[in-house]
Amino acid sequence: MLDNAPRGTICIEDIEIGMIRTLRKVVTDQDIEMFAEVSTDRNPVHLDEEYAQDTIFGGRIAHGMLTAGLISAVIGEQLPGHGTVYLGQSLKFLAPVRPGDMVLAEVEVTDIDHSKRRVTMNTRCLVDGKKVLVGDATVLAPSRKFD
């Protein structure tokens, strides 16, 4: 059989429950500014330190969806990787991510439906060992077999 899976991919045939992949990234001021530009979310809690000081956060925080984007990066680049199609994602934001924080994004395979090529994963982001985001993702994984 021909292998038509893109490089940087773990095909459905090779995915196992319990597989984990991670990514670490320091969230910078530039990341926050670029996300605000692309998303058009210019909420001052993300961009204006003086304003943010008077909020419940006591200072600037990154956009929650910027943090969630790190989960997308793990799924799209590592597990399953290139060719993956996102079907759904639940998210619960537990704590803020601040400029300069090192975020650890993790995905862990919790269920596989080989007949539908669907993979369910527990997703989480941590800062200093503390969960800041949790959820579950469902994706359509690439296959070595032709459809």
Task: Name residue 106's beta-bridge partners.
Answer: 22, 124
Query: Tokens 């045939």, residue?
Result: 13
pLDDT at 119 over 80: yes
Residue boundaries of the structural domains of the chain:
15-140
pLDDT at 22 over 80: yes
Structural domain 15-140, CATH architecture? Roll (3.10)
Query: Tokens 């969630």, residue?
Result: 68
**Per-residue confidence band for 8, with pLDDT thresholds at 50, 70 and 90:** confident
DSSP 39: H
Reading the block at residue 77, the tokens are 């680049």
Summarised one tens digit per residue, pLDDT across range 27-69 is 999 999 999 999 999 999 999 999 999 999 999 999 999 999 9
**Per-residue confidence band for 2, with pLDDT thresholds at 50, 70 and 90:** very low
What percent of the chain is predicted at pLDDT more than 90?
91
CA 87/CA 45 separation, integer angstroms: 30
* Predicted pLDDT at 144: 87
pTM of the entire predicted model: 0.91
Closest CA to 65 of 26, 36, 24: 36
* Predicted pLDDT at 44: 98
pLDDT at 5 over 70: no
**Per-residue confidence band for 145, with pLDDT thresholds at 50, 70 and 90:** confident
Query: Tokens 């998210």, residue?
Result: 91
